Structure 1
Amino acid sequence: MVIYLRVSTSEQAASGLGIEAQRATAVAYAERKGLVVIDEFTDEGISAKNLNGRPGALSALAAVRSRQAEGILVAKMDRLSRSVVDGAGLMESARREGWALHFADLDIDTSTPAGEMAANIIISGSQYERRLISQRTRDALAAKRARGERLGAPVRLPAIVVERILRERQQGNTFQSIADGLTADGVPTSRGNRKWFPSTVRAVTVSKHVGEAGALSAAP
């Protein structure tokens, strides 16, 4: 076997804890099943959305396809794939090309019909759960918009800058002209940038600071 390890964030890669935990799980599985590990491939700080851009995964596949190894062993299924399409494609490649996929956390060997079926069911369930979470998030945001709630982080600007933007907007100036004036005057945005855009100006006009600054601008 060759072991494949992956962590998705730079923080996990720097700590090494995620990699070590996966390695320990995979090695324990190999010992329990009497499998011989000949090599190890790692992708650090890389997502599992697809195989593109994952040199470690591609190297593991090259090892089994060149017959250097008889299979790929991963600690967790989602370390190798997080989608039904990719997961099913890998299992079909393994079946067609004569190598095995082992998922240590599930104790599954996809070289058997039962193992392949179980892996497909679990991958489908995982993708279904992720899509449900995504849909719930979209529905919640849509409900907030419908109630008129403002979304995103509030704009952090001095009241005098917000007042200027509101005053110029009330005078009929466009978002573009206001942005150009702020840029020309060297006024920094809430993120410290020197370049203003119409969308940036518009965001200020709908920020939570508008009520306070609006009252200031309306004062005599």
Structure 2
Amino acid sequence: MRQVGYTRVSTADKDAQLQLDALVDAGVQKRDVFEDVTSRSKNAIERPVMTKLLEYAEAGDTVIVWRIDRLGRSLIDVLNTVELLRGRGIRVRSLSGGIDPTTSTGRLMLHMLATLAEYERELIVERVNAGIAAARESGTRFGRPPVSPDIIDEKLAIVADARDRGRTAAEAAALVGWS
């Protein structure tokens, strides 16, 4: 019966150190912590590190997370992940809130916290979308800046000349800042 830790951040520029420290403080060996960096669009079962955790953890083990919402990006995903683990005889423990899904009270708390986490994410998405809409209305342009056809023609001429002089396509492209 091992304690297996799981951390998740949504982008590489975010740091899971807070989660890792909490898991180690709770007694999880650092070698038994699975650290995931993944896009919000992936369900738990589609995440490569979660897949490794599922292969590693055995019946009787306990998967410990800092917060229950680290197990999924939506209410359904969190609940499916907990049920998947429980179905394999693997216990789940959340350090924040002390949720124990083996009890009816723990399952109630799990549902409530997962619902609140999903609500919070939806509010963030709404705020971001409102900010983008306001920026567009005020004239902000998104995406690559428009490029003049004359500039493209100049760069193509430079590339063609470099190729005629024996440079490779990669070398010629690099002259004008292209890959």
State the TM-score, normalized to the length of structure 1. 0.56
Residue by residue over 1:20-39, the C-alpha shift from the partner in whole angstroms, topping out at 9 and shown as x without a partner, is: x3233124335xxxxx8696
Matched residue type, 1:5: T
How does 1:109-120 map onto structure 2 within 5 Å?
Answer: 109-120=100-111
Structure 1 or 2, whichever has the larger Rg, is 1
Structure 1 residues 96 and 155, CA, compared in 2 at 3 Å: closer, same or farther? Answer: closer
* CA shift for structure 1 position 5: 2.6
Matched residue type, 2:12: S
* CA shift for structure 1 position 150: 1.0
Query: For residue 8 of structure 2, what is the aligned residue in structure 1?
Result: 6
Q: Which runs of 5+ in 1 are unaligned?
A: 31-35, 158-164, 166-177, 196-220
Query: For residue 69 of structure 2, what is the aligned residue in structure 1?
Result: 78
Between 96-105 and 120-129, report the one with greater CA deviation: 96-105
Structure 1 residues 29 and 112, CA, compared in 2 at 3 Å: closer, same or farther? Answer: farther
* CA shift for structure 1 position 53: 5.4
Question: d(CA) in 1 for partners of 2:145 and 2:177?
Answer: 13
**What percentage of aligned pairs have identical amino acids?**
24
1:62 to 45, 55, 65: 55
2:153 to 181, 184, 209: 184
Note if contact 1:2-1:38 (Cα within 8 Å) is conserved in structure 2.
no
State the TM-score, normalized to the length of structure 2. 0.67
* CA shift for structure 1 position 135: 1.7
Q: 2:25 matched to 1:28?
A: yes
Q: Which runs of 5+ in 2 are unaligned?
A: 157-175
Matched residue type, 2:123: L
Residue by residue over 1:139-162, the C-alpha shift from the partner in whole angstroms, topping out at 9 and shown as x without a partner, is: 3433554xx4212469889xxxxx
- Alignment length (residue pairs): 157
1:149 to 118, 138, 143: 138
How big is the alpha-carbon RMSD for the aligned residues of Structure 1 and Structure 2? 3.5
